[in-house]
Amino acid sequence: MEFWLGTHEPSWLARVSIPLFVSHRRLARRRGLPRAKVAWALDSGGFTELSLHGGWRTSVDEYVDAVDRYREGIGSLAWAAPMDWMCEPVMLQTTGLTVRDHQERTVANFLDLRSQGPFIPVLQGWTIDDYEACLALYAEAGVDLSRQRLVGLGSVCRRQSTAQVEEIVRCLATHGLNLHGFGVKKTGLARYGAAISSADSMAWSYRARRSPPLPGCTHKSCSNCLRYALRWREEIIGIDTQLELTDRGS
């Protein structure tokens, strides 16, 4: 499994040689861009945009232009999340739309984006039946998700350690999908990490805000601390290693 360390510090792209997951919302406000030392992936910032505005105020052309800018200025962009529509109940209350509405908008956006950059499709839903229905929407649009290099699994990060999400992941994996788990924490990884191809998380920052700084750190909190983030990443990599050993029967 490939793990992308989430960060809201774009400058880390030029400082570390590990895969990073960086939000468009953080990069968009920068005039100068760091030059990446290694492959990285882009979060569209959709949850924040929908939460604040009840819809996408960024246009497809604006997002594509931004991604083109990052590809040229930063380099090494492996893939980018689309402008998808999350299906958490609180998000549906915010937009006033249904799960089906959000799924149709998500699929339509991928169709608009797929030829304009390294965008991956995302499955959205809430129940297993929802995700199966979203899978069918892609198929009806002529997109075979089993042939995509990566398929994002949306609307799971705030419940990612539950048995329900584990069931959803294992069900979707039977379709031969290379799944990417957004915001997968250590508990979720331990439950179903062997069934996904990649994951990202910046749960380290939340934990750091609630913990004392590391010995030797002079800041009040390690919530923006590269040293803390790298230590936490090593814990994640350790879990992944154990999953590999378990899968091999060791």
Output b/e per residue, 60-72; b: 16+ Cβ within 10 A. Answer: eeebbebbeebee
pTM over 0.85: yes
CB 226 within 8 A of CB 4: no
Tell me the β-bridge partners of 200.
Answer: 4
Strand order in the sheet with 77-80: 77-80, 40-43, 20-23, 2-7, 198-201, 179-181, 151-153, 122-123
Report mean pLDDT in 10-residue bins for the chain, 250 residues. Answer: 94 96 95 96 97 97 98 98 97 97 98 98 97 98 98 89 89 96 88 94 91 94 94 83 40
Q: How far apart are CA 179 and CA 32, in angstroms?
A: 33
Per-residue confidence (pLDDT) for residue 195, from 0 to 100: 95
Q: Which domains does the chain have, with CATH numbers?
A: 2-247 (3.20.20.105)
What is the predicted pLDDT for the residue at 240?
56
| Amino acid at residue number 49 | E
* DSSP at 119: B
DSSP letter for 158, please: G
Q: How far, CA to CA in Å, does 159 sit from each of 26, 163, 164, 165?
A: 25, 9, 8, 7
143 in Cβ contact with 112 (< 8 Å): no
Strand-strand pairing, 20-23 and 122-123: unpaired
pLDDT at 250: 31
